[in-house]
Amino acid sequence: IKEDTLEQLTKLTSSEELQELKVRVMGKKGSLTSLLKQMGQLSAEERPKMGQIVNELRTQLEDAWDKKWREFEKNALESRLREERIDISLPGYSLPQGHQHPLSKVIEEIEDIFMGMGFTIAEGPEIETDYYNFEALNLPKDHPARDMQDTFFITEDILLRTQTSPVQIRTMEKQRPQLPVKIIAPGKVFRNDDDATHSPMFHQVEGLLVDKGVRMSDLKGLLLYFSRQMFGESREIRLRPSFFPFTEPSAEVDVSCMLCGGAGCRLCKGTGWIEILGAGMVHPHVLEMGGYNPKEVTGFAFGMGVERIAMLKYGIEDMRLLFDNDIRFLEQF
Ligand code: PHE
């Protein structure tokens, strides 16, 4: 039995076959088992001897099986490791990565520049009342200047704000009588306009500085500093007289358009300048509406168009590109 079993053992190729062999020898009808069954026929002296032989045989066979079993297990593990091997030197897949919209980038940059000069950031609602959007800004009902901004009305008194200027009033109301009032207010504004340089929704950043002795030259210096931070040291600005009901005097501010060599591009219409903001000294009525005494304090305010600034900074000739959400366009920034 021993030699036969050990010989068969060397021919085995799988753990299943090993199991079968075990049954053939040790199972109910196995050869070793039947040997044990025959022991009853032996004499009293022979029995313990035979018992010992059979036990030894069993131990030997079990050792041999165990060894073989471990060998199979080891082989199985090795082949699994070989199959599941990962080549860590293969280059990985790169996942698509999103990034900021050019307008968000520009707004953050504007915020950084003004925060660097001690301005804080204020906010106001996009759905505004007639009072804050017009009335308190020195634009009473029936004032012809209301036509400057094609308004989306929701009801007679509620509208989508056409400008960020209402945040001037809201901020002064909240802060009075403390000085200085020194905020910028970025946000969405809405006008019933739609072409290559206008969109029904666009962004502005409002600025307001109220303090004792604020002068127009402070405004000009600040805006020149801002423009050079934003567009580069070689930029110039120019102020053109203009009109806003909430500032007096008022100006429109242009930045030199070096993007296209000063002339010829659609952005600056061949003039070499592009308008980026409206500004002026806060009208006494507006200071009063905000709860400040125009005999004690003065202030300046400005409102800049973020899309215009982005177009100028990145050389975008059609504002609508900023809102089309074409990945091929957006990926460039
Ligand atoms: N609110 C004005 C506009 O939208 C811009 C502006 C803001 C002008 C503040 C002067 C002062 O056109």
Strands (E), 212-316: 237-244, 247-256, 273-282, 298-305
Cα 224 to ligand 1 centre (Å): 17
What pLDDT does 266 receive?
66
The model's pLDDT over 273-308, given as tens digits with 9 standing for 90+, comes to 888 999 999 999 999 999 999 999 999 999 999 999
Of 99, 30, 158, 26, nearest in space to 108 by CA = 99
Q: What share of the chain is helix, strand, coil (3-state, %, to 5)?
A: 45, 20, 35
The model's pLDDT over 134-171, given as tens digits with 9 standing for 90+, comes to 999 999 988 887 877 789 999 999 999 999 999 999 99
Residue in 162, 246, 281 to alter for ligand 1 test, most ligand atoms within 8 A of Cβ? 246
Nearest atom within ligand 1 for CA of residue 208: 9
pLDDT higher than threshold 70 for residue 323: yes
Amino acid at 210: V
The model's pLDDT over 124-137, given as tens digits with 9 standing for 90+, comes to 999 999 999 999 99
What pLDDT does 186 receive?
98
pLDDT averaged over the chain? 89
Of 198, 139, 201, 133, nearest in space to 163 by CA = 133
pLDDT higher than threshold 50 for residue 264: no
DSSP label at residue 111 = H
Helix axes 102-115, 306-314, angle to 10 degrees: 100
What pLDDT does 263 receive?
43
The model's pLDDT over 2-29, given as tens digits with 9 standing for 90+, comes to 788 778 778 877 888 888 888 888 888 8
Residue in 133, 244, 277, 281 to alter for ligand 1 test, most ligand atoms within 8 A of Cβ? 244
The model's pLDDT over 182-198, given as tens digits with 9 standing for 90+, comes to 999 999 999 998 777 77
104 or 256, higher pLDDT: 104
CB 217 within 8 A of CB 281: no
Region 196-208 average pLDDT: 90
Helix, strand, or coil (residue 74)? helix
Within 13 Å, how many C-alpha atoms sit on residue 62's CB side? 8
pLDDT higher than threshold 50 for residue 69: yes
Strands (E), 212-287: 237-244, 247-256, 273-282
Can you say whether the dihedral through the CA atoms of 255, 256, 260, 264 is positive or negative? positive
Cα 162 to ligand 1 centre (Å): 10
Can you say whether the dihedral through the CA atoms of 40, 42, 45, 47 is positive or negative? negative
CB 309 within 8 A of CB 319: no
Please give the Cα distance from 179 to 100 (Å, whole number).
35
**Global confidence as pTM:** 0.72
What is the CB < 6 Å shell around ligand 1? 163, 165, 244, 247, 278-280, 301-303
- Phi first, then psi: give them for residue 171, nearest 5 degrees: -70, -45
Round to the nearest angstrom and report the end-to-end CA distance of the chain.
Answer: 83
Cα 186 to ligand 1 centre (Å): 13
Region 222-231 average pLDDT: 96
What pLDDT does 259 receive?
58
